[in-house]
Amino acid sequence: MSASITHQVHPSIREAVFPADTAALVAIIREYVQWLDMDLSYRGFEHEMQTFEQTYTLPSGLFFVAEADGDIAGCVGLLRHSNEVAEVKRLYVRPAYRGLSLGAKLIASVIGKASTLGYAKLVLDSVPQTAFAQRLYERVGFTETAAYYANPVAGTRFLELVL
């Protein structure tokens, strides 16, 4: 089967189900971090991966997956900071699936769910390697905000969206 056939299938977005999606999601997130070419230990990355199901199960958080032909094509997470604020985490679309508007669909899904859950604001941090994602965030209404953790990587932008 050629790659072009994959793109003729309409991808779907759904909430992750644990433990069924755990291994595949951890794998795609590790792929994303490798793509970033960054050491995320300063943000507790290994602990996040080891406690993935607990961290990303409501009420503390959740994850969405984009699927195409039964493969995970992309993902995005939501992590609770407080009753009012949640953080958008790990938006990533695998290179083979880019150009299908999956990033926009994933962000729309996470914004909609955050609204349903009663959050007043979403925040995120975005490193320079994610310039394309930053333009997507701006298109859906995210604006610059103050840093919400100490010692970010040089060039990190902090964005927020009031819901």
Domain spans of the chain?
3-162
Token pair 């333009």 is found at 135
Tokens of 3: 């790659």
User: How high is the pLDDT of residue 115?
Assistant: 97
Q: Which CATH superfamily is 3-162 part of?
A: Gcn5-related N-acetyltransferase (GNAT) (3.40.630.30)
Q: What is the pTM of this model?
A: 0.90
Tokens of 27: 């794998």
Q: Exposed, middle or buried, 162 (CB in 10 Å: 0-12/13-18/19+)?
A: exposed
Average confidence score pLDDT of the chain: 91
Q: What is the pLDDT of residues 119-146, one digit of tens each?
A: 999 999 999 999 999 999 999 999 999 9
